[in-house]
Chain A
Amino acid sequence: MYTMHIGEQCLEYLGDKFRVILNLPEDWSNAAQGAWLLQKMVLVHLDSPRDKFRMLIFMLRKLYATVSGACCADNPDSPQHQEVLLPGSLYGMIIKERMEEILNNIRSSISTDVRNGVAVDFHDKRYFMKILSKINFDIGSKLSNFLATGNLVSPTGLDLQQASGFTIIAEKLNWQRYISHFRCIHRGAFFAELKTTTVRKLLPEAWGFLCPVHTPDGSPCGLLNHLSRTCRIVTSPLSVAHIPALLAAHGMTQAFTPSIDGGRNICVQLDGRVIGWARPAVANQLANNLRIWKTEEKQEVPLDLEIGLVPESKGGQYPGLFLFSTRARMMRPVKYLPNGRDDQVGPFEQVYMDIACTPEEIDPSICTHVEHDPTNFLSILANLTPFSDFNQSPRNIYQCQMGKQTMGTPSTALQHRTDNKLYRLQTGQSPVVRPALHNTYAMDAFPNGTNAVVAVISYTGYDMEDAMILNKSAHERGFAYGTVYKSQIIDLKDVRGASKSTSAPSLHFGLGKDIVTSGEKTHSCINILDGDGLPGVGVKLQPGDYIAAYIDDTTGRTKFVRYKGDEIAYVDQVRLLGSDAGDSELQKLHITLRITRSPVIGDKFSSRHGQKGVCSQKWPAVDMPFSESGLQPDVIINPHAFPSRMTIGMLVESMAGKAGAMHGLAQDATPFKFTEKDTAINYFGEQLLAAGYNYYGNEPMYSGITGQEFAADIYLGVVYYQRLRHMVLDKFQVRTTGPVDPLTRQPVKGRKRAGGIRFGEMERDALIAHGTSFLLQDRLMNCSDYSTAWVCRTCGSLISLGYDDISLGEMVVGNSGSLKPTGPGGEYCRVCRAVAEQQEEYERQAMATGRHLQRPQADIRVAISSQQVLRQAASKGGDLDVVAIPYVFRYLCAELASMGIAVSLEIQ
């Protein structure tokens, strides 16, 4: 049976079997190949075969335990068992693979030489140079291609589950969006297609590592996560070589011990290597020792060492003491209670640790750790939501989304930036109500909104359905005024007519002699362009205006580049792009355009509590409601925005903002600061009372129109409002007439092409249900593909129109010599004429032979009401009528005809 008795034999066996695919040098022995196979293919994280063997045995034990039900399977979706694929590792793998490819190319080119009998001399430098010069060493291009496209071009796939989508552009829309790009973790494209939702579930193991709030809603929900604020990723290797000896000195049985009672000992592992065994009590003691050593920097135990002690349980996780020191693990700081020191914990060990959230809830008999701050489990963005603990949780998720779409301050060095598109809020303010972390992250340097006086009142009806009314005077004073910066790059190399040679360009920026610069016939470009052909800074550009001029050497004429946008823009900066040395002629321009975006009706705003709304009116200040002190709201929102959404945080912010504005305080809005006994309402209510306001933030208000006091008091306060980047100017779509599809003659779709908005089946159903048939016809026919067509009364064909030119009074005579019948315009039905001619022929033959034949008839008949018939055929000749039909119907008839299906219309 078993013929292999010693290791050598096994290696030879393996080498023999795998030799074919290993692609190793042919002169290697089977045993060497087998050893290589084990080294490179089996448990590759372990060097020594003995370690691999022990690990395999351990795995077997765990397998048996799992099958017997003594332990449960590990959950691969839990962050407890996950680590992070860092960009650095990925780059490393790509570079490594490329290097391997290069080396293989060198080897194969030498072996080709050997095979072809070329003199191969390894001592000859010139030979090596010749070989090396044949090989493409460009590693950078591969990496830059990867970074630009996110596509992984790799023969092995690097053991990754996806081949594309590895990179995204770090958008600098505002600071929040930018930082989020660097704190996000994606589970992988593979899981996005998965039907089950288990992979998206928020598991308790993620506490403190992945933010439960900061994830998008919709398709990437739960897959695209963001790191919690204090979570960090270990990126440097730790020195842990001495740990096994240290543990052995403190009671661990070493792994090479001849006999170990596996039933009573649990395994001790370091980075997936079995280093020993210990009784559970000893293991517990070892874990405690290690934790004290690492927090107190003793015995050279690194702080980032993860000490995962899985206790024995019935049907729980397989027990053991698992130590981790590798990179790409998530770690987070907490306080270790026994010595009050900072400790770093990882997701594996955290599951079995007792970490109190606040110092108050520490139970000395249980807790070993306490959080530094109860808000540390939230991401940076979630932490910036004020009073988020008062809100219904989805609203905080929405705010994390909207914070990233806010027109804010993307950078303080806007003058030096060349981004494709930047949004800027011109009048950003520091919020009155802000969490403590607002200062930590220096958000005051990147303001994202404006403090607005907000009244919660249903006024004029223009605040229905989440719309908000803006105070016209506030708007005129600059509320939420924004700017969009766009770039246009003009490269004369890409322009038509550029010479392909690199030496001397044939196009030069400037105005030629053919441009009249003064006098009556002054060229219109003079208003915009200077003599050098570049636009002046500050110049206003209309759509289609000249933005640069250049002279073509070959023709000697001046040509222009036009401004491409469809909005009025101002030239903000003109950059001359050249070579590094600065000695080449100017061929490339970068022009920053400034587009002013004052808030208009239809623009989107939101508070920091997921309460978004659209500006519906800019209401004159005199008509706005006002309080006794003459205070008028900048923004009016409807009370219906609150009951179903339960954003109590916004109500608290309103009170806090009002009190803060009155007393000149920056209010702390950090979540979890208030308790049931010490409520926020009471804290801010007292402040409001002290300022002479109602305790609950209400105020009597007066109608601006009549001056009469409202029957109810109004909730009035200060809320920080963000302006979102979705603006109506980028989105509106309207058309009366415009381009049509050449095939169907129906209006095209798409805003960019001046197309229409689809009037679909459901809309059609609505009109049918309302009985508005004229509107229905107007939408689907008159405003769409109205057309008129000739239809034959006799055979009902829509597509058989023929035409004889009888305009000069000619009569067409057929081959039989009889007069061919046509309509008054010379039109006739080709089918009917053919039938008639055939009939004539048959009759002639019948007269000759005495037989009769039937006339063909179409199968499908569509009834057309007589109203649709625009013109009656005058004579019996052609017998054609003009009807109004959708053009696409005629197209359908033609398509059907091509398939051999005749459509026949009946006209009544």
Chain B
Amino acid sequence: MQTQEDLEPTVRIRELKKDRVNFVLGNVDLAFANSLRRVVMADIPTVAIDMVEIEVNTTVLPDEFIAHRLGMVPLNSSNCEEAIKYTRDCTCLAGCPYCSLMLHLNVACHDDNTMDVTSDHLDLVPFPTDPEQQNPEPGEELAQRGELFGQPVGKHEPGVPPVLICKIRKGQELKMKCTAKKGIAKEHAKWSPCSAVSFEYDPHNKLRHTTHWYEKSIKEEWPLSENALEEEPPREDEAFDFNAKPNKFYFEVETDGSLGPQEVVMRGLAELQTKLANLILGLKKQPDGEILANDPQVNGHVPAAEPSWAGGGQQSAWGAGASTGGWPTTSRGNASQWGSGSDGGATSGWARSGSDGGATSGWGSGSATAAATTTGWASPSRQTNGWNS
């Protein structure tokens, strides 16, 4: 009999729809399956509105709230890997057509009825280039973009209700310029292509990883999931195989539309591959100069040297994990920004309120005054002069 290790991993797609894919992953380790789930959730780049320049906002909602809502609108990001650069990897200063997208929102209500401002009002416009600034080296990104790239998902598509941003009444106006950038969900949830990733193994609990607590009857109180049909129910007299390992994983990846479900899974696998390649590279005791020089994938980017990763609240745990080996990473910069939780400058500025700045402002001034009042009493000689003389 063949052992599990000998079998090739299998993927059986049970259902593929526009916004979801349901598949069974077989003959892989639990750790691998979970890694795929994690990568799909948090590491796949998409584009989302990241900076909003507000010109007019006479609605009832405050600026930062509208900016936050805009950031949440899913934008079409297919082939994001090739079609757009990270701004931090780009040669431009603050944004260029190769690393940013520009969307305009310009709505005013002249009607007596309440008007809905929706994602359909977001218009993708060519990114303005600054004539004074030296144009960055032209990339081939623009050619890789699809027709809909950067458009709000489902815009003008029949049967797809748009995302409501705000409601305005007569005389109110909303005018803003939104800059969309590429990012991953580790940095901010708005860059996640998935709305939920369903993950299950061992529906009959044959492995006894869990215990189903019940009061009267386990059958009546615990309905079996649909995936239970895929596996043999345990026989009454079946002996417990304590060596068995899970090897069939039921996935359902549901996306918000920014990426197709197929692309999400494929990119997830590719991403996982890249990460593992980096790990192997990092585990080599001393990276060969030869390898470094020959491999175009590697550019010697060392995350440990990056100062930003310590500042990002709980994200710093990521940074620490990622940088244990201090190995170089790829130019795609996946690992390099593991810890950079706070450098994204998220749309509204409230995604990064965790630990930066804010808290310290209260007593910064206090210490300055303290310095003034406390001078002189620590030194014995001046003490003598001031006291009893």
Q: Which residues of A contact B (CB under 8 A)?
A: 415, 426, 472-478, 481, 483, 538, 543, 566-568, 570, 572, 594, 596, 598, 600-601, 617-622, 626, 628-631, 689, 692-696, 698, 700, 702, 704, 706-713, 729, 732, 734-740, 742, 745, 753-754, 786-790, 799-803, 825, 827, 830, 870-871, 882, 887
Contact of B366 among A712, A732, A735 (CB under 8 A): A735
Residues of B within 8 A of A628 (CB): 198-200, 225
Given the known interface contacts A700-B212, A713-B213, the answer about A825 and B384 at a Cβ–Cβ threshold of 8 Å is: yes
Q: Are A476 and B188 in contact (CB under 8 A)?
A: yes
**Contact, CB under 8 Å: A711 / B210:** yes
**Are B314 and A696 in contact, CB atoms less than 8 angstroms apart?**
no
Closest 3 CB pairs of A and B: A707-B34, A754-B366, A630-B196
Known: A570-B62, A618-B354. A473 touches B33 (CB 8 A): no
From the candidates A472, A538, A596, A622, name the one contacting B54 in the complex (CB within 8 A). Answer: A538
Contacting residues, chain A, for B369 (C-beta < 8 A): 738-739, 754
Is A622 within 8 A of B38, CB to CB? Answer: yes
Enumerate B187-244 residues with CB–CB distance to A below 8 Å: 188-190, 192, 196-202, 205, 209-213, 215, 220-223, 225
Cα A732 to Cα B359 in complex, Å, equals: 8
- Expressed in whole angstroms, the minimum distance between the Cβ of A687 and any Cβ of chain B is 13
Tell whether B370 is near chain A: CB-to-CB under 8 Å. yes
Minimum CB distance partner of A730 in chain B: B362
Q: Are B383 and A787 in contact (CB under 8 A)?
A: yes
| B367 part of interface (Cβ distance < 8 Å) | yes
Kindly state whether residue B374 has any CB partner on chain A within 8 Å.
yes
**Alpha-carbon gap, A630 to B189, bound state (A):** 16
Asked if B367 and A754 make an inter-chain contact with CB atoms under 8 angstroms apart, the answer reads: yes
Residues on the B chain within 8 Å of A631, using CB: 196
**Most chain B CB neighbours (cut-off 10 Å) among A790, A800, A830:** A790
Which of B64-72, B270-278, B290-298 faces chain A? B64-72
* Chain B residues closer than 8 Å to A830, beta-carbon distance: 388
Tell me how far the C-beta of B337 lies from the nearest C-beta in chain A, rounded to whole angstroms. 14
Q: Which residue of B lies closest to A805 (CB)?
A: B389
Tell me whether B79 is interfacial, beta carbon within 8 Å. Answer: no
A709 and B202 in contact, given A476-B189, A800-B388 (Cβ under 8 angstroms): yes
- B256–chain A nearest beta-carbon distance, Å: 12
Contacts of A594 in B (CB 8 A): 62
Interface residues on B, range: 35 or more
Q: Are B189 and A477 in contact, with the CB atoms below 8 A?
A: yes
Q: How far is the CA of A729 from the CA of B185 in the complex (A)?
A: 27
If A787-B377, A801-B388 touch, whether A621 touches B370 (CB-CB below 8 Å) is no
B residues less than 8 Å from A543 (CB atoms): 361, 365
What is the CB-to-nearest-CB distance from A43 to chain B, in angstroms, rounded to a whole number?
60
In the complex, what residue of chain B is closest to A827 when comparing beta carbons?
Answer: B384
Are B388 and A802 interface neighbours, CB within 8 A?
yes
Q: Is the CB of A739 within 8 A of B222?
A: no
CB-contact partner of A601 in B351, B354, B365, B380, under 8 A:
B354
How many contacts A-B (CB < 8 Å)?
204
A residues in contact with B331, CB < 8 Å: none
Q: A543-B361, A696-B215, A736-B367 are in contact. Are A483 and B210 (CB under 8 A)?
A: no
Q: A622-B42, A711-B209 given as contacts; is B314 within 8 A of A472 (CB)?
A: yes
Q: Are B373 and A739 in contact (CB under 8 A)?
A: yes
Given A483-B62, A708-B209, A825-B384, are A566 and B223 also a contact pair (CB < 8 Å)?
no
Q: Which of A481, A600, A626, A713 contacts B354 (CB 8 A)?
A: A600
With A and B bound together, what is the CA distance between A786 and B385 in angstroms?
17
Enumerate 19 A-B pairs (CB-CB under 8 Å) in ascending A order.
Answer: A538-B54, A596-B64, A601-B355, A619-B314, A622-B38, A626-B197, A630-B197, A630-B199, A631-B196, A696-B215, A702-B34, A707-B34, A711-B210, A735-B367, A736-B367, A738-B369, A739-B373, A754-B362, A802-B389
Asked whether B324 is an interface residue with its Cβ less than 8 Å from the other chain, the reply is no
- Looking across the interface, which residue of chain A has its beta carbon closest to that of B42? A622
- The docked-state distance in angstroms from the alpha carbon of A475 to that of B350 is 9
Given contacts A543-B361, A601-B354, contact A709 B209 (CB under 8 A): yes
**Set B353, B363, B378: member contacting A735, Cβ < 8 A:** B363
For B210, give the chain A residue with the smallest CB separation. Answer: A709
B20–chain A nearest beta-carbon distance, Å: 11
A694 touches B223 (CB 8 A): yes
Chain A residues with CB under 8 A of B378: 786-788
- CB-CB under 8 A from A753, the residues of chain B are 366
User: Nearest Cβ distance between residue B344 and chain A, in whole angstroms?
Assistant: 11
> Is the pair A629, B196 in contact by a Cβ cutoff of 8 Å?
yes
B171 to chain A, nearest CB (A): 13
Closest B residue to A823 by beta carbon equals: B384
A317 to B201, CA, bound (A): 73
* Central interface residue in A415, A475, A700, by most chain B CB within 10 Å: A700
Residue of A nearest to B388 (CB): A801
Given A628-B198, A693-B223, A702-B199: A740 touches B189 (CB 8 Å cut-off): no
Is B63 in the interface zone, CB < 8 Å from A?
Answer: yes
Q: Hey, which chain A residues are within 8 Å of B223, CB to CB? A: 689, 692-694
Q: How many Å lie between the Cα of A712 and that of B363 in the bound state?
A: 47
Interface: B41 (CB within 8 A): yes
Q: Would A737 and B210 count as touching, CB distance under 8 A? A: no
Judge whether B384 and A803 touch: CB under 8 Å.
yes
Instruction: Kindly provide the distance from the CB of B215 to the nearest chain A CB, expressed in whole angstroms.
Output: 7
* Contact of A789 with B383 at beta-carbon distance under 8 Å, contacts A689-B223, A711-B211, A737-B370 already known: yes
Q: In the complex, are the beta carbons of A566 and B361 less than 8 A apart?
A: yes
Tell me if A740 and B65 are in contact (CB < 8 A). Answer: no
Candidate in B197, B222, B346, B384 with the most chain A CB atoms within 10 angstroms: B384
Find chain A residues with CB under 8 A from B34 CB: 702, 706-708
Q: Nearest Cβ distance between residue A749 and chain B, in whole angstroms?
A: 13
* Smallest Cβ-Cβ distance to B213: which chain A residue: A713
CB-nearest residue of chain B to A412: B60
Separation in Å of the A78 CB from the closest CB of chain B? 46
Of A598, A617, A709, which one neighbours B350 at CB under 8 angstroms?
A: A598
In the bound assembly, the distance between CA atoms of A572 and B64 in angstroms comes to: 12
Closest chain A residue to B383 by CB distance? A788
CB <8 Å contact, A572 and B62: yes
A residues near B7, Cβ cutoff 8 Å:
none
